[in-house]
Amino acid sequence: MVAAEVKNLATQTTKATDDIAKEIQAMQAVSQDVAASVNAITATTSSVSEYVNGVACAIEEQSAVTKEISSNMQKTSTNVSDINECVKKISGAKS
């Protein structure tokens, strides 16, 4: 009778140990999936960061070029006004 109980306990222990081993394997598989997902997210974040930096640089360049164009347009406007004044003076001198 005692031997049968010991054998039954041993069988239950073996089954419980196997169940625990399966749970650990399942948790390890999930952990590997999570690690792979984190790595993919990190790579994507890095890629997005590169794109954002590229866009920021392009915007900065565009802003600088726009300022230069504006400055050149103001200078051109001033020069055209000066030329108009000269033309008026020349026209007035000929009259």
Q: Percent helix, strand and coil across the chain, each rounded to 5?
A: 100, 0, 0
pLDDT score for 95: 58
Number of domains in the chain: 1
Looking at residues 13-22, what average pLDDT do you find?
97
Rounded mean pLDDT, 13-41: 98
* Residue 28: domain span: 1-95
Residue 14: pLDDT over 80: yes
Give me the half-sphere count of Cα atoms (radius 13 Å) on the Cβ side of residue 34: 6
**Intra-chain end-to-end CA distance of the chain, in Å:** 139
**pLDDT the model gives residue 92:** 82
pTM confidence score = 0.57
What would the pLDDT profile of 61-79 be if each residue is shown by its tens digit? 999 999 999 999 999 999 9
